Chains A and B, each alone.
Chain A
């Protein structure tokens, strides 16, 4: 039998927190993108778990959309990182402070 929904949700919450930690502490822009992937993955688990639990297909549809969007995001994110690297020879996000007010 399938484990209860709460387990999946707690797992997802834990993964999301781990992603948040990486997002906050990582300095390399690509590492930050990796952390975001983990967070997105946590969200996908949530969606599929609810879809299973509620017997509703919408959750799976949304997961597919989310996967596609994440891929798109990664593409653009990497393009920006490459651009940033070309411009500054460095991809450390915390040093990119040109937008300082």
Chain B
């Protein structure tokens, strides 16, 4: 079991080193992709075997080495921890990563050869980083993996670094998540200081637990794009679409959710922290859902949708149900990756991101459209599709814990989801296209991974029982009032969108809603951050500049000035004329001899 886990973690890094260390391979284009994909598929097999081998409810198996020994005691540990949670997440990550990498072989084929090598090297590095995080035995290793995936995210968002907007988006993602990571880091320090280790099981209930949990959650908010730190995720869509599917929809952004599940004892020890988590998640559901309704870029719609769905997971965690969180995480990974890949196929075919320029794809791009519809159905939560089960489970958890505020918000979010998905589907796939186009083609290498994901998006609901088992919980599907309400709301939203965007009559409603859309679209939050950040930085920078210029430099200048002035004066003593030196010697002799005679130590009078 341990060797398998080690392979799952370390296999990708071998792939990365191979690509990074062999320029010939890296520059060879698709061969690099094949190597990277093969490694990913191998780790997928290992991860599945590992998952099947984990007994539900069994104690975690940990293999670790001491790291940074300090006074006979390890400062931290490096290793793998295999239990239900990490095995499920590891398998999901490996699966999505494999699908995305295989898909990328087709999607990225038109890039330059060195670019392809670079792309796959980073993909491998990402897979390694993510599995490091997933299988971390304590919080410090998790933090290392956490930062590494952040780095990969930065690199992959900025993949088209020649494009200013992509470079800017990469920096923005880095800044925002790094801000959140300061919280996580502070939490780590606090934990080490107060608890004395990085093991999350060791935390006792109390204010320390609350503080650490909230700080860890701050980090999770950044990574999982929770309101109000979600602003980086839509911009992250500047990266290649498969990257969006893997990092910014399925796995990396879910790392925040996973971290909370992983450090569950920490949150269980603090009721306050759980309430905060529930509210943040629910608010994110609604805010991101509203924003998704007015986006024109298909990837941005999906990005805000991701925020919103992550909100469901977070809210479910806040309701005290890590099973629901991880269940929805798994299903969301399947259908959102599928949606992104299918959208990518559409973008690949149409060469545009705007839903208004697509239109009529159902006719010209049958296969990808069908796959997109499957993903959309799962996202809305149509009965029978995977999203239906997990979202209902999350709502149920909220209702059971009597968090009615977040519950209401989450329920409203279901209607919003129905609306924005319906809008995209109608506009991009069924409207009359702006210009006629022939049949478009999707390469097989792209279709196969999507099909696998589509199957999983349909049957994902069946995974609820096993996942609950692995996490030591229970899940049985049953019809609930919340579930029925949610389904009705989702269908209502879908119907409204169809009516508005499918028929001319609905156009008037859009006009009515325009001011609200303009407000949301204006990016007020972005501007607020920018201003606050810039002004704050300016104030600090001015203060630091003043201090540096007048205090630090002043001291330096004073030192330099006294040395210069002192030497300028003392150098006059050195005339270079020998008689002057002789005079100095003789005078010194006289003075010393006189002094010795006065103090009675002249030596003249001593007798043996």
> Is B576's CB under 8 angstroms from A93's CB?
no
**Closest B-chain residue to A29, C-beta based?**
B578
> Is B586's CB under 8 angstroms from A97's CB?
no
> Is A24's CB under 8 angstroms from B582's CB?
yes
> Is B578's CB under 8 angstroms from A93's CB?
yes
> Is B574's CB under 8 angstroms from A101's CB?
yes
> Is B577's CB under 8 angstroms from A94's CB?
yes
A99 close to B (CB within 8 Å) = yes
B518 close to A (CB within 8 Å) = no
A88: B residues at CB distance < 8 A: none
> Is B579's CB under 8 angstroms from A24's CB?
yes
A76 close to B (CB within 8 Å) = no
A20 close to B (CB within 8 Å) = yes
A86 close to B (CB within 8 Å) = no
Q: For residue B141, give the distance in angstroms from its CB to the closest CB of chain A.
A: 63
- The docked-state distance in angstroms from the alpha carbon of A21 to that of B582 is 11
- The docked-state distance in angstroms from the alpha carbon of A101 to that of B580 is 13
B511 close to A (CB within 8 Å) = no
Question: Does more than half of chain B's interface fall in helix, strand or loop, or is it mixed?
Answer: helix
0/1 per residue, B573-589, Cβ < 8 Å to A?
Answer: 11111110011001000
B435 close to A (CB within 8 Å) = no
- The docked-state distance in angstroms from the alpha carbon of A97 to that of B577 is 5
> Is A99's CB under 8 angstroms from B586's CB?
no
A47 close to B (CB within 8 Å) = no
> Is A101's CB under 8 angstroms from B578's CB?
no
- The docked-state distance in angstroms from the alpha carbon of A24 to that of B577 is 11
**Closest A-chain residue to B589, C-beta based?**
A20
> Is B575's CB under 8 angstroms from A100's CB?
yes
- The docked-state distance in angstroms from the alpha carbon of A23 to that of B583 is 9
- The docked-state distance in angstroms from the alpha carbon of A54 to that of B582 is 33
A99: B residues at CB distance < 8 A: 574, 576
> Is B578's CB under 8 angstroms from A94's CB?
yes
Residues of chain A in range 74-101 having any CB-CB distance to chain B below 8 Å: 93-101
- The docked-state distance in angstroms from the alpha carbon of A95 to that of B582 is 14
B576: A residues at CB distance < 8 A: 96-101
- The docked-state distance in angstroms from the alpha carbon of A22 to that of B233 is 93
B478 close to A (CB within 8 Å) = no
- The docked-state distance in angstroms from the alpha carbon of A98 to that of B574 is 10
**Closest A-chain residue to B578, C-beta based?**
A93
Q: For residue A61, give the distance in angstroms from its CB to the closest CB of chain B.
A: 17
B574: A residues at CB distance < 8 A: 99-101
B571 close to A (CB within 8 Å) = yes
Contact A93 B579, CB 8 Å, known A20-B586, A23-B586? yes
Q: For residue B360, give the distance in angstroms from its CB to the closest CB of chain A.
A: 91
**Closest A-chain residue to B585, C-beta based?**
A23
Q: How large is the interface on B (under 10, 10 to 19, 20 to 34, 35 or more residues)?
A: 10 to 19
- The docked-state distance in angstroms from the alpha carbon of A96 to that of B578 is 7
> Is A24's CB under 8 angstroms from B578's CB?
no
- The docked-state distance in angstroms from the alpha carbon of A99 to that of B576 is 4
Residues of chain A in range 24-42 having any CB-CB distance to chain B below 8 Å: 24, 27, 32
**Closest A-chain residue to B582, C-beta based?**
A23
- The docked-state distance in angstroms from the alpha carbon of A20 to that of B579 is 11
- The docked-state distance in angstroms from the alpha carbon of A100 to that of B575 is 5
B586: A residues at CB distance < 8 A: 20, 23-24
- The docked-state distance in angstroms from the alpha carbon of A24 to that of B590 is 14
Q: For residue A11, give the distance in angstroms from its CB to the closest CB of chain B.
A: 16
Q: For residue B89, give the distance in angstroms from its CB to the closest CB of chain A.
A: 75
- The docked-state distance in angstroms from the alpha carbon of A78 to that of B577 is 18
Most buried by A among B570, B575, B578, B586: B578
- The docked-state distance in angstroms from the alpha carbon of A35 to that of B425 is 113
**Closest B-chain residue to A98, C-beta based?**
B576
- The docked-state distance in angstroms from the alpha carbon of A20 to that of B577 is 17
- The docked-state distance in angstroms from the alpha carbon of A23 to that of B586 is 10
Contact A101 B573, CB 8 Å, known A93-B578, A94-B578, A96-B578? yes
Residues of chain B in range 555-608 having any CB-CB distance to chain A below 8 Å: 570-579, 582-583, 586
**Closest A-chain residue to B574, C-beta based?**
A101
Q: For residue B593, give the distance in angstroms from its CB to the closest CB of chain A.
A: 11
**Closest B-chain residue to A27, C-beta based?**
B579
Residues of chain B in range 532-570 having any CB-CB distance to chain A below 8 Å: 570
- The docked-state distance in angstroms from the alpha carbon of A96 to that of B575 is 10
**Closest A-chain residue to B571, C-beta based?**
A101
Q: For residue A35, give the distance in angstroms from its CB to the closest CB of chain B.
A: 10
Residues of chain B in range 268-327 having any CB-CB distance to chain A below 8 Å: none
A94: B residues at CB distance < 8 A: 577-579
**Closest B-chain residue to A36, C-beta based?**
B582
B570: A residues at CB distance < 8 A: 101
- The docked-state distance in angstroms from the alpha carbon of A98 to that of B578 is 10
B572: A residues at CB distance < 8 A: 101
Most buried by B among A23, A27, A95: A23
- The docked-state distance in angstroms from the alpha carbon of A94 to that of B582 is 11
**Closest A-chain residue to B576, C-beta based?**
A100
Q: For residue A4, give the distance in angstroms from its CB to the closest CB of chain B.
A: 15
**Closest A-chain residue to B570, C-beta based?**
A101
A100: B residues at CB distance < 8 A: 574-577
- The docked-state distance in angstroms from the alpha carbon of A80 to that of B573 is 24
B582: A residues at CB distance < 8 A: 23-24
- The docked-state distance in angstroms from the alpha carbon of A101 to that of B581 is 13
A93: B residues at CB distance < 8 A: 577-579
Q: For residue B135, give the distance in angstroms from its CB to the closest CB of chain A.
A: 70
- The docked-state distance in angstroms from the alpha carbon of A94 to that of B572 is 16
**Closest B-chain residue to A26, C-beta based?**
B579
- The docked-state distance in angstroms from the alpha carbon of A95 to that of B577 is 7
Q: For residue A43, give the distance in angstroms from its CB to the closest CB of chain B.
A: 13
**Closest A-chain residue to B579, C-beta based?**
A94
**Which 5 A/B pairs are nearest by Cβ-Cβ distance?**
A101-B574, A100-B576, A97-B576, A101-B571, A99-B576
Given contact pairs A93-B577, A97-B576, A100-B574, a sample of 19 additional A-B residue pairs in the complex whose CB atoms are under 8 Å apart? A20-B586, A23-B582, A24-B579, A24-B582, A24-B583, A24-B586, A27-B579, A32-B578, A93-B579, A94-B579, A96-B576, A96-B577, A96-B578, A97-B575, A99-B576, A100-B576, A101-B574, A101-B575, A101-B576
Q: Which chain B residues have a beta carbon within 8 Å of chain A's beta carbons? A: 570-579, 582-583, 586
15 interchain pairs, CB-CB under 8 A: A23-B582, A24-B582, A24-B586, A27-B579, A32-B578, A93-B579, A94-B579, A95-B577, A96-B576, A96-B577, A99-B574, A99-B576, A101-B571, A101-B573, A101-B575
Q: Which chain A residues have a beta carbon within 8 Å of chain B's beta carbons? A: 20, 23-24, 27, 32, 93-101
